[in-house]
Amino acid sequence: MPEHPRSDHHFASDNTAGICPEAWAALQRANLGREPSYGADAWTQRAGDLIRGIFERPDAEVFFVFNGTAANALALASACQSYHGVIGHEIAHIMVDECGAPGFFTGGATLLPCPGEKAKLEPVAVERVLTRRSDLHFPKARVLSLTQSTEWGTVYRPEEIAALSALARRHGLAVHMDGARFANAVASLAGTGATPADLTWRAGVDVLCCGGTKNGLNSTEAVVFFHPGLACDFAWRGKQAGQLASKMRFASAQWVGVLEDGAWLRHAAHANRMAGRLAALLRAIPGVSLCLEPEVNAVFVRLTQAVAAALEARGWHFHVFIGEDGYRLMCSWDTREDDLQAFAHDLRAVLSTSP
Ligand SMILES: *Cc1c(COP(=O)(O)O)cnc(C)c1O
């Protein structure tokens, strides 16, 4: 790591981290000469091939866009007409954090929120939403959207995805996966033998929005279509939406940098490990409790507003996320053991002086 001033006080999100060394090195290599524009370059070909290899699907179609909102909204638009509905968890990013982009890019499709424990969907609840109305006065459900890993840092097992996909299939729905933190889910399940293919198309996922930004890349997400029929107009859709990079190689080179030697999973596993470590440090502090056990790179801890404010006064950045007292601490590829120790130390100090 080069020596430069860095703020160690960021647990606000995994996108507050910088660009990882593998992506940075690839950017430098990509910067050496001239290359064709708009994705007709060798880096983009290579990045797509690497993704097709990792997912064991030589026929998958891969597109790079600038961010997750665009990836999700455009992927959903590929499956939806204006009168369709998209079922997703009620706190999913597409529901509450995309400013209506799915509705905008689909030309009017309706988001149909569904409740579920720990930010996960279950077939019974989805079926309830699916069967509530089937008349033509209500949007026709067309897509089931899952987030992997979820907004609460939980993870779907392959069999859970398969059960949801089977239900979707029975009702004629396509399956979309918001994988802003897909790598963290893969790393989390590595011990079970589940592969990227097992977590996506083998379990019935038609299109995956695979996150790069939160795993050490700069402004790039991959839209991976396993269902070729859905991909046919994506190039035009993405261009119209302002998501076609003319210097595409600077997106795709970063993917090559992290995919070639497995750095994407190493970084995700590191972030997950740091979250596990942070959870252990926090649990050891008397009076501190976690909202749920971390499965990936997020830790949710219960704090009073006064304690949170005192930590913020000491320079820590993080957000309230679950209810009024569940604060989210996000680890990333560059989180260090020192950062965790310093946070735990400050929390102990704050608790010992505040009522
Ligand atoms: C961060 C995130 C995204 C992508 O957000 P952008 O800011 O548009 O890149 C999508 N889904 C989830 C679950 C996220 O956490």
CATH of the domain at 52: 3.40.640.10
pLDDT band at 116 (very low <50, low <70, confident <90, very high): very high
Question: What pTM was computed for the model?
Answer: 0.97
Residue that terminates a domain, selected from 238, 259, 280: 259
Give the least confident one: 7-11, 66-70, 171-175, 342-346.
7-11
Strand ordering across the sheet containing 289-292: 289-292, 298-302, 326-330, 319-322
Q: Is the CB of 69 inside a 6 Å radius of any atom of ligand 1?
A: yes
pLDDT above 80: residue 67: yes
Beta strands in the chain (DSSP E): 61-65, 84-89, 110-114, 140-147, 174-179, 207-211, 221-225, 289-292, 298-302, 319-322, 326-330
Give the atom of ligand 1 at the shortest distance from the alpha carbon of 147: 13
Question: For residues 226 and 201, is the Cβ–Cβ distance under 8 A?
Answer: yes
Whether 329 is in a domain gets the answer: yes
Distance (angstroms) between ligand 1 centre and the Cα of 70 equals 9
Which of 90, 93, 95, 151 has most ligand 1 atoms within 8 Å of its beta carbon, as the pocket-test mutant? 93
Nearest CA among 99, 95, 97 for reference residue 113: 95
Distance (angstroms) between ligand 1 centre and the Cα of 180 equals 6
Which of 64, 65, 69, 328 has most ligand 1 atoms within 8 Å of its beta carbon, as the pocket-test mutant? 69
Q: Is the CB of 120 inside a 6 Å radius of any atom of ligand 1?
A: no
294 and 215 in a single domain? The answer is: no
Q: Is the CB of 147 inside a 6 Å radius of any atom of ligand 1?
A: yes
Residue that terminates a domain, selected from 203, 233, 259: 259
Tokens of 190: 């590595």
291 and 336 in a single domain? The answer is: yes
The strand pairing partners of 84, in sequence order, are 140
- pLDDT of 348 reads 97
Predicted confidence (pLDDT) per residue in 4-15, tens digit: 555 567 899 999
Predicted confidence (pLDDT) per residue in 12-35, tens digit: 999 999 999 999 999 999 999 999
Residue 319's domain comprises 9-18+263-353
Tokens of 192: 């079970």
pLDDT above 80: residue 224: yes
129 and 252 in a single domain? The answer is: yes
